[in-house]
Structure 1
Amino acid sequence: MTTKYVRRLIRWSQWGWLLLLPNLLWPGLAWSQQADHRALEKAMRVFNLQNYEEALPLFEKLKSSAPNDPAVNYGLGVSYLASPDPTVQAKALEPLEVAANNKGEAVPNYVHYHLALAYHQAQRFTDAMAQVDKFEQTAPKNDPLIAKARMVKAQARNGQWLMANELPVVLMNVGPTINSSFSEFSPLVNADETMLVYTAVRADDKVKGGRPMESIYQAKGQNGQWNTPARVELSTQAQNTGAVALSPDGQQMLLYTGTADGNGNLYQAKLHGKNWQGPSPVDAPVNSNHLENGASMSADGTAIYFASNRPGGFGGMDIWMMEKDERGQWGRAVNLGPSINTDANEEAPFIHPDGKTLFFHTDGPRSIGGLDVMKAMRIRGEWHDARNAGYPINTVHNDGYFVMSPDGTKGYFASNRPGGFGSMDIYFLGIPAELNMIPLTMLKGRVVSGEERTPIPTTIKVINRETSEPIQNVYSSNAVTGNYLIIFPPGKEYDLVVEAEGYQPQLVTIKIPHQDYFYELYQEIHLKPIRQFDEIVGQEVSVKNAFYDTERPQQKVAVDSRFAKEVSLVKDSLDLYELMDNIIASEDAEAYNYLMELMLATNPTGEVPMENAPEIQVASGEFYYEDAKSGKPLALDATKSSPKPVTASSDPKPVQVDVTKVYFAVNKSDLQAEFAKQLDPLVAQLKKNPSLKIEISGYADATGDREHNLRLSNERARAVLKYFNDRGIPRRRIVAKGYGQTSQEALYKNDQDKQKDRKVEIRLLSVL
């Protein structure tokens, strides 16, 4: 295994290293009762050397004469599994079932392990897991195949789930112009899809020793139709050379060249006219003394992602990354970590032009079987756990080398699934015309303050009312516009805890209705302080929700079916930026451009005629701080609305005709005891009837200037307010105001009449 091709061929045999039987010399001949012992001995000798290709015809001949011999059937079944051809692998099921059902002493316990592989290949995942359990029950605890058997079981579970949740995508073999009876893989396409570069093996391409050699081929195309490919002539032609990355303009290519010791390095070539020049090694320290066999460059050329088995990884091949410094030199190699890499092999990285979406393939426990395409998202600088790209992109066969077009509408990858032209073929991935509608709601809102409706800096926390669990992300409104954006799934209620500068935390309850498409909810939260004199004693909040798109289906935003599989990423996080990352990878340019427009808009609700919306919810209320429970936000249920705001102070009416009056000394605001006693009956009446409010009006005589008299009247009204408040009447039930002097004519009153103007009048009011 000194070349990159042979390394891949073992893995492409589908079960490759999973088939190896360490330290086993199968002595099945001693218990065979039916087969020709001399012929069986020859077949088993080759089998024990793990030369399954040569053993296969020997066992086939024995099967014809001894169809039920368990030893013959076991050797035949394992030899079938070792084939690189899936159609040949499928033949393993029948003989392995015969061997397992007639096991006896002629067949080792490994038959359950290999039968699990055959069931898995046939997509009989439940049967495969049952055979793994049988193998584990009888195998020695230190048997090295136990770990491999458990991985088969994990892959079977993956297959059950992923195939039950099939993606509605379009897959097509690109056809015989490109594919052949040999292997074609690692497809690379430039931005306008006029150039396809790929790696292939041909019968006439040999390295020293006669082994097949990898070479690079290039085809021109238009509208998905490719012309006859031509081999790319390079100075490395005598060695295994494969294409691994292509720049969007098709002018630069990264490639791999193998070495005689089984390692290999990355090279770069440039297109000059119609010919490729080079290649030259990629600058150090990307290459090492170990194997680097795949890479992808970021769109701006400042980062490279590559596969390597260098020390410091998690095992096998890992995905690493390097960035260029300010001098244009490559920095330190950074392993992408356990969210991407495992102790299996992770290879063929492809970083999308968005710089946040990474594809690669793996042969580990996250696959359905063989190689599987994986996808990972980088969000706020951190790579989230890679996920299987799903069925039918991935199958129980080998599927890898995935690349995506810059606009996100097409993909290309390689697979050895049945129905192709040969070993590995190149396939096209497309999105169906009938796109699913994603039932998400985009809440586009703003927070404004005061009579001038000035935007204010705000943070918004989201709580799921059903679970009482807070959503991890905290949203911040734009400090200049007051705008915010949040994404919600349908059919749930949420509490928005709005924390704005100068206000107590305000809790606003909203209900996201059930719907089957993507639409917008416009929201405006208007906060106003409630003042009593120069003191802020509470706040008034008004919430308007305008559901435009529920009545205008022509404005629904289409999000494609592949994005539907990403909804789970936002159901719990409600993270707009994570949603943006998912849309970028979801192959929906319309949704991407739409969201970008919304994010960059200076005022998403400013142009919305809230009062004329087809469906609108309006809710408002007054909240006094003395009523608030310690540590609890002030709560307003915006799901309970009315045609116009209704507050506790709307249209108060007098309860009684009589007005209680208290008087004050000249230029004084102290409440005298003789008058204070007159207020006690009013206190008792207010406590008896909680629906009553009280109106306090302060006055002064005409002596002095108007500003002084207005201030004095306020102080007198405040003194009476304090009397009621100290006796348990909350401020929300009190309206107090100073009106200054009674009139200019009062200036000419005598002292006795002026005394009557130094007063506070108290009226009981009803809000019923």
Structure 2
Amino acid sequence: MKKQFTSVLLLIAAMLTACGGGESVVSDRPVGHAKSDLPIYNCSAVNSAADDFAPVLTADQRSLFFTSNRRAEGRAQQLSAEFRYGEAVFFSDRLTDDPALQLDVQEQWRSPLVYQPEVFGQVNTGTMAFDSKGEMYISSGTYLGSGIGGADLFHITSITGAMSTPTPLEAVNSPWWDAQPAVSPDGSMLVFASDRVDDAPSVESQGRRIPTLWISMRSQDGSWGEPVQLPYPVTSGSGELSPHFSPEGALYFATLRWPEQGYDIVRSTRLPDGGWSEPERLPEPINSAHNDCFPFITPERTQILLASDRPGGSGGYDLWCGEVPYCIKVAADVQLVEPLRGGEARRRPGPQVAMNIIDPATGRIVASGRTDNAGNFSPDICLRAGKTYHLEPGAKQCYQAAAAVPFTTPVPENFAATVPLRIDLERPLLPEFQVLTDTIPFFVTGYWYPNTGTELTRLRNRMSRNELPNANFIDLKDYDYEFAARRVERWFAHLYGEIETMLVPMLDTCYTGADTLLISVLGHVDPRGLAWGR
């Protein structure tokens, strides 16, 4: 867990920034998160060996703001022992027009600079947020001269050109630590973290207060009302901080309700009755076995920025970028189409058909299974949002699609969506079985083996050895059986060729184990019967 400060004010200064501030000693512990295949990477283009956290992107995604306690531009100054953390807002501008964020590519982003030091000073400017109009809300220490104490929230109407004077939110601020603002997309709600209690703060105060989330509603005249603590299930009693509203209005925040996992990022939505849904714990790798906090959802709602002290970073808390976890499922209607010669194709649902969902970028099978008896394919897996996949039949089978069915998953409004699909699988028409007809002595009169050249030779050898005592039935003089044997062999060669032409594609794609090929040979039997022998 985090370094414990003996002074409450020291703790407040630390909480102004990271998930608890100061040094982090996090032991390895079992991970209790659901796992996913979402990608995540370290934003090494802007991170430092110090603590970097609270990322915010502008609406055009051209500028990144974040808070850091790195030493830069004379920021070694410490105003007092209570506020030795010394954080400030930094910003970095994008240097290229590449639509991808690529916060791990140095060439894409300008080296971070302190944001408006002449307004906020060099230390103790905490986290910030924008509302839908582009106006800024920021938390800061009392050094702006107009705050109440501890840390307070301020409003700034212009962030370009001549910045407006930061105005404290007097109806919202308290003598305690009030920080980490988040404004809902419609501008009606301000949620922030606070450790306020009824008692007045004191330097002599000991112990650690638990931060919780508070909400203030905007009135019709634009002013903010008196804040109240967000109720259960948002407030757990264990500690919540770093709130953020996504573009669709979901409330993301970090919570310590699973203390063995450190701070974890969750999300909740406003219910019709004004309450809040049970927070959903985001899966790995968004959450980790370490502290994960300060979520920020990018304007297009596909990527999440966050701060984490997990291994693999530049040091302390780092910014990380991953995909927003959504659950996109597929409901495919699989139809079997059986073409008929000279007629319309017959169509029916495809029961127990093997199906796959493929990631065409990698060729990897991301979902597989069989249809139910009604031809429905609904694998129990969450696909990633805004990504293209292919639906196609699985293992080689009789029914095949003319082509895979491509589809792109949506970015849903409420974390989940189902994509309806339909795919036709057609059974190919097999080659017709064309057999030559001929009128030939298929047998030697009175003998029971087909008259091929080999069998004709064997018959004569057997007769010479008197192995056929009833040989009087056999007549080798009534026809030119050498000529007939050549015709029989030609007929057999043709028959085998036709069978191969038909069976190879059938066995390759259509054979089910229940198919039977019946070959019938029709002819006449000599009324005198057949010779017999050993």
Question: TM-score interval w.r.t. the shorter chain?
Answer: 0.5 to 0.7
Between the aligned partners of 2:61 and 2:214, the Cα distance in structure 1 is 28
- Corresponding residue for 1:720? none
Equivalent runs, 1:685-704 vs 2, <5 Å:
none
**Native 8 Å contact 2:302 2:324 kept in 1:** yes
Q: 1:706-742: per-residue Cα shift (whole Å, max 9, x none)?
A: xxxxxxxxxxxxxxxxxxxxxxxxxxxxxxxxxxxxx
CA contact (8 A) 1:234 1:276 kept: no
Query: Please, which of 337, 348, 354 is the counterpart of residue 231 of structure 2?
Result: 337
The answer to whether the 8 Å contact 2:331/2:377 transfers is: no
CA contact (8 A) 1:190 1:247 kept: no
Letter in 1 for 2:299: P
Q: CA deviation at 1:174?
A: 1.1
- The equivalent of 2:394 in structure 1 is none
- Following superposition, the deviation at residue 170 of structure 1 comes to 1.5
- Could you tell me how far apart the structure 2 residues matched to 1:239 and 1:417 are? 26
Q: CA deviation at 1:511?
A: 6.8
Aligned residue for 1:6, secondary structure, equals helix
Q: CA deviation at 1:243?
A: 2.6
**In 1, Cα distance between equivalents of 2:296 and 2:316:** 20
Aligned residue for 1:171?
Answer: 40
Query: Which one of 120, 123, 141 corresponds to residue 236 of structure 1?
Result: 120
In the superposition, relative to structure 1, how do residues 511 and 171 fare at CA in structure 2: closer, same or farther (>3 Å)?
same
Deviation at 1:395, TM superposition (A): 1.6
Shift of 1:238: 5.9
8 Å CA contact retained: 1:166, 1:392: yes
Query: Which SS does the other structure have where 2:329 is aligned?
Result: coil
The answer on whether the counterparts of 1:239 and 1:259 sit within 8 Å (CA) in structure 2 is no
Partner residue, 2:85: 212
Q: 1:438 aligns with which of 315, 320, 329?
A: 329
| Secondary structure at the counterpart of residue 235 of structure 1 | helix
Q: What is residue 447 of structure 2 aligned with on the other side?
A: none
8 Å contact kept, 1:403–1:413:
yes
1:183 aligns to 2:51 (yes or no): yes
The match for 1:372 among 243, 264, 285 is 264
**CA distance 1:326–1:274, change in 2 (3 Å):** closer
Structure 1 residue aligned with 2:137: 254
Structure-1 separation of matches of 2:90 and 2:18: 23
Pair 581,512 (structure 1): closer, same or farther in 2 beyond 3 Å: farther
Q: Separation in 1 of the partners of 2:280 and 2:188?
A: 26
Offset at residue 213 of structure 1 (A): 0.6
Change (3 A) 1:492 1:291: farther
Q: Say whether 1:317 aligns with 2:181.
A: no
- Distance in 2 (CA, whole Å) between partners of 1:271 and 1:398 is 33
Query: Is the counterpart of residue 302 in structure 1 residue 188 in structure 2?
Result: yes
CA distance in 2, matches of 1:299, 1:11: 24
**Partner residue of 1:558?**
409
Aligned equivalent of 1:196: 64
TM (normalized to structure 2)?
0.54
Give the total of aligned pairs.
Answer: 332
Q: Partner residue of 1:581?
A: 414
Taking the aligned partners of 1:436 and 1:303, their CA distance within structure 2 comes to 27
Cα distance in structure 1, aligned partners of 2:19 and 2:378: 46
* One-letter amino acid matched to 2:378: Q
Offset at residue 318 of structure 1 (A)? 1.8
Aligned: 1:415 with 2:308: yes
Aligned with 1:122 (options 11, 14, 28):
28
1:84 is aligned, of 23, 30, 42, to 23
Aligned-residue offset at 1:307? 1.6
Query: Could you say which residue in structure 2 is the equivalent of 1:280?
Result: 167
Give the alignment's Cα RMSD to 1 decimal.
Answer: 3.9
Query: Structure 1 614/373 Cα, relative in aligned 2: closer, same or farther at 3 Å?
Result: closer
Establish whether residue 513 from structure 1 lines up as the match of residue 376 from structure 2.
yes
Opposite residue 242 of structure 1, the aligned amino acid is G
User: Quick one: higher RCO (CA 8 Å, sep 6+), 1 or 2?
Assistant: 2
Shift of 1:180: 1.1
Q: How far apart, CA to CA, are the structure 1 residues paired with 2:402 and 2:378?
A: 12
Native 8 Å contact 2:251 2:269 kept in 1? yes
Distance 1:190 1:236, change over 3 A: closer
1:409 positional shift? 1.0
Classify 1:6/1:332 alpha carbon distance in 2 versus 1 (closer, same or farther; 3 Å). Answer: closer
Letter in 1 for 2:242: A
CA distance in 1, matches of 2:380, 2:158: 46
**Quick check: 1:292–1:306 contact (8 Å CA) kept in 2?**
yes
Structure 1 residue 418: Cα displacement:
1.3
1:602: which partner in 2?
none
Q: Quick one: distance in 1 between partners of 2:370 and 2:197? A: 50
Matches within 5 A, 1:739-750: none
Kept in 2, the 8 Å contact 1:286–1:322? The answer is: yes
Mark the CA change 1:377 to 1:207 in structure 2 (over 3 Å): closer, same or farther. Answer: same
Q: Is the 8 A contact 2:331 2:376 kept in 1?
A: no
The SS at the match of 1:414 is: strand
Q: 5+ unaligned residues in a row in structure 1: which ranges?
A: 14-82, 90-120, 126-158, 443-489, 494-509, 519-549, 561-578, 584-590, 596-612, 616-768
SS at structure 2 position matched to 1:378: coil
Instruction: Say if 1:254 and 1:269, in contact at 8 Å, map to a contact too.
Output: yes
For residue 392 of structure 1, give the secondary structure of its aligned residue in structure 2: coil
Residues 614, 369 of structure 1: CA spacing in aligned structure 2 closer, same or farther, 3 A cutoff? closer
Pair 1:394-2:287 in alignment: yes
Q: Distance in 2 between matches of 1:205 and 1:167?
A: 41
Distance 1:338 1:491, change over 3 A: farther
Inter-CA distance 390–328: structure 2 relative to 1 (3 Å threshold): same
Greater CA drift, 218-227 or 254-263:
254-263
Structure 2 residue aligned with 1:736? none
Q: Does structure 1 residue 326 correspond to structure 2 residue 220? A: yes
What is the CA-CA distance between 1:320 and the residue it aligns to? 2.0
Aligned CA distance change for structure 1 residues 318 and 171 (closer, same or farther; 3 Å): same
Distance 1:275 1:424 in 2: 32
- Does structure 1 retain, via aligned residues, the 8 Å contact 2:261–2:290? yes
- Is the partner of 2:236 in helix, strand or coil? coil
Amino acid at match of 1:513: N
Matched-pair identity in %: 22
Q: Distance in 2 between matches of 1:491 and 1:554?
A: 17
Helix, strand or coil for the counterpart of 1:382? coil
Task: Quote the offset at 1:290 in angstroms.
Answer: 2.7
Q: 1:384 offset after TM fit, Å? A: 0.8
Structure 2 residue identity aligned to 1:219: S
Secondary structure class of the residue paired with 1:277: coil
Give the alignment's TM-score, normalised by structure 1: 0.39
Distance 1:317 1:514 in 2: 47
| TM superposition shift of 1:274 | 4.2
| Alpha-carbon distance change, 196 to 614 in structure 1, aligned in 2, over 3 angstroms | closer
1:5 CA displacement: 3.6
> Does the CA contact (< 8 Å) of 1:403 and 1:412 recur in 2?
yes
Change (3 A) 1:559 1:553: farther
Q: SS state of the match for residue 217, structure 1?
A: strand
**Which amino acid letter does the alignment assign opposite residue 88 of structure 2?**
S
Using a 3 Å threshold, how does the CA distance of structure 1 residues 332 and 403 change in structure 2: closer, same or farther? same
CA distance in 2, matches of 1:394, 1:238: 32
Classify the secondary structure of the residue corresponding to 2:414: helix
Question: Contact 2:332–2:377 (CA<8 Å) still a contact in 1?
Answer: no
In structure 2, give the amino acid aligned to 1:582: F
Gaps of 5+ in 2: 1-6, 102-107, 199-208, 334-368, 382-400, 426-534
- State which of 312, 319, 325 in structure 2 corresponds to 1:426: 319
- CA positional deviation for 1:424: 0.9
TM superposition shift of 1:303? 1.8
